[in-house]
Structure 1
Amino acid sequence: MRIFETVTGVLLLFFLLTAPSTADIKSIKIQSDDRPMILLQKFGLTHRAYITVAASSVSVTSTLSPPDLSRQGVFLLSEESMPEVLLEFQQNPDFCILRSKFALLLFTFRDLSPKWSFNRSFPVMYPSEYSLFFANCDAGSRVTMDFCTELLNTDG
């Protein structure tokens, strides 16, 4: 009985002393999709947050050959930046959002490993509401991939 009380006390102390956190994990399958932009997830992040993105089983088919892998990628966009990005599109309809100074580029398909996969964590320094997008600025190409996001707010 004493061991149980000691273990219970240690566990209670551990949970009281560790910082609260919130997390969200989402998996998405994209199959032969030619849309120019796909909203992957929308979420709020705090001062101390991390986002992990993983893409696997990636393939690109194109009616134009070869596809431009630097024009396909994943980026974060804060809610505050949305009007600026819309203005960029209005000024130049052929604009690729992956080149926007308002988009936080996480990776392009050019960054994929030789196994056509990607898995990396990124710290997020500014609290905000964010949207995570996949952009395909390479007209005529279709993308297939398994995509997973993990979001972690470490300050509760």
Structure 2
Amino acid sequence: MRAKVVGKKLLKDGPFGTMRYTIKQMKMYRGFSKMQQVQYIYTEAAESLCGVRLQVNKFQYLITGRVFDGKVYTGVCNFIVPWDRLTLSQRKGLNHRYQYGCNCKIKPCYYLPCFVTAKNECLWTDMLSDQGYMGHQAKHYVCIRQKEGYCSWYRGAAPPDKTRINATDP
């Protein structure tokens, strides 16, 4: 989701406490079936327990997480970044293109050689570089379903052409 943190409160549940962030939800990208509107995001109070620190009234964030018992939880293993630090390709992907890849699987490559083993896979090679999860593919490409169920990397200003496979993939 895209949201702005407008408040926070330390809750004393559990041995170390939970931080409850009050948010203003700008846009929900996934999870409509579990929650239509989110008012609070929960995380561990201690950073040593994978809790995250979000700044109040400073940024709009892209926040990922999980729903458990009707509450949204997030932590350091989730993708959380200020919205204005996303690339134009990532923002366009969230708003338009990523939906074309819902049936695709991203297969990470940690060392060579790497291969896709199914037509619905895109080989993600960012971990071979020193930039890792924030590498070139993550910042500028989207894995989308192409002709005949094949998935491939796409980059471009126009919406993907559903009738052909893009031959300029990484």
Q: Tell whether the structures are fold-level matches, with TM greater than 0.5.
A: no
Structure with the larger helix share: 1
Q: What TM-score, normalized by structure 1, do the two folds share?
A: 0.20
The structure that has the greater radius of gyration is 1
Q: Which has the higher contact order (CA 8 A, sep 6+)?
A: 1
